[in-house]
Amino acid sequence: MTRIFVDSDACPVKEEVYRVAGRYGLHVFVVSNRMMAVPASALIERVVVNAGPDVADDWIADHIAAGDIAITADIPLAARCVEKGAYVLEPKGRLLDKDAIGMALAMRNLMTDLRSAGVMTSGSAAFGKADRSRFLSELDTVVVKARKPRPFPRTPQPQ
């Protein structure tokens, strides 16, 4: 069964995730390193991990499986989830799959290197209504795709 994992510390679309998950009856793990409010629902589980760099990311990467959905803006975490066969959706609605994750990692590393060298880089655009709408639409599409039965690889039959 498809589950949704939310890297929640700075996630602006948690309410949208709860709504879509409720509509499809999907279990949601809201993972953070601090206590945060979540709706009272048997489908929503708050996971509070120890404080520290990447502890929440590690928890998600350790528990996510093929066919699950991760909601995160963290590109290294996204890469780990894609590697496990999960769907990854950024809060602005961009799907990060096997085709997109390499470029996303390369851009992240380039920007990190530029900032380290003292180059002033612009931040990403502010989160807006269009981003929220795009996210909702894409999450619906990904949930439908994730819930479809996956064909098993065919093994050749002896002749």
Q: What is the pLDDT along the chain (159 residues), one digit of tens a residue?
A: 899 999 987 899 999 999 999 999 999 999 999 998 999 999 999 999 998 888 999 999 999 999 999 999 888 999 999 999 999 999 999 898 877 666 656 565 555 665 677 766 666 678 889 999 999 999 999 999 998 876 655 556 566
Which pLDDT value is given to residue 75? Answer: 87
State the pLDDT at residue 119.
67
Q: What is the pLDDT of residue 57?
A: 93
**Res 133: pLDDT:** 94
Q: Which strands, in side-by-side order, build the sheet including 87-89? A: 44-48, 27-32, 3-7, 69-71, 87-89, 95-96
What does DSSP say about strands 87-89 and 95-96: parallel, antiparallel, or unpaired? Answer: antiparallel
pLDDT of residue 9: 79
Residue 87 in tokens: 């769907």
* Per-domain boundaries in the chain: 3-97+132-147
- DSSP 8-state code for residue 1: -
- Compute and round to an integer the Cα radius of gyration of the chain: 17
Distance CA 32, CA 49 (A): 6
Q: Whole-angstrom Cα distance, residue 26 to residue 61? A: 19
What pLDDT is stored for residue 117 in this prediction? 75
Rounded to two decimals, what is the model's pTM?
Answer: 0.81
Q: What is the pLDDT of residue 139?
A: 97
- 3-97+132-147, superfamily in CATH? NAD(P)-binding Rossmann-like Domain (3.40.50.720)
Which DSSP letter does residue 91 get?
T
